Amino acid sequence: MASPFVREGDGYVKEDRFAKASWLSSLWVTEPGSGWRVLLAVAVTLIGFLVAATVSVVGFYAFRGFSWTRIGGLVAVAVSLLTLTLNQPSWIAIGFAVLGAAPLWLPVTRSYVERWAEKRSPAAVFSEPVDEVFYGPLPRFR
């Protein structure tokens, strides 16, 4: 089990592993409980949220057949590169972003998007023009 305590002699001593948590937190030496440590933890959390949100939004709108998701997939892959500032297990998000963006560039995706666009905004149907317009009270009401 992972524990911040290490056995030393007859007791346990707390080992500070914050600098090993991510590449980003290893750049600066910080004291436990300092504002910088909190800021680094918030930055790591925001990076994770940004990557997850970008991939999720692009995936949802790709499922709904929006054409802009092709470019959005490339943006999601670029944003997923932010995980390089985190720890190594988080790098798998880059692979998942690439796996999610690659099908958006397949030829079958274009027909899928076109069908969805047609369903979302069908062609306008116009009625026949009216030739005789009667103004005033109708004869049956006189």
Cα 37 vs. chain centroid, distance in angstroms? Answer: 26
Q: Looking up tokens 């980003």, which residue turns up?
A: 24
Task: Please state whether the predicted TM-score (pTM) of the whole model is above 0.85.
Answer: no
Provide the CA 134 distance to its chain's centre, in angstroms. 58
How confident is the prediction along the chain (142 residues), in pLDDT tens digits per residue?
456 677 777 777 777 777 777 888 887 788 877 888 888 889 999 999 999 999 999 999 999 999 999 999 999 999 999 999 998 889 999 999 999 999 999 999 999 999 999 998 888 888 898 888 888 888 788 7
* Amino acid sitting at position 129: P
Cα dihedral sign, 136-140-141-142: positive
> Per-domain residue ranges for the chain?
16-118
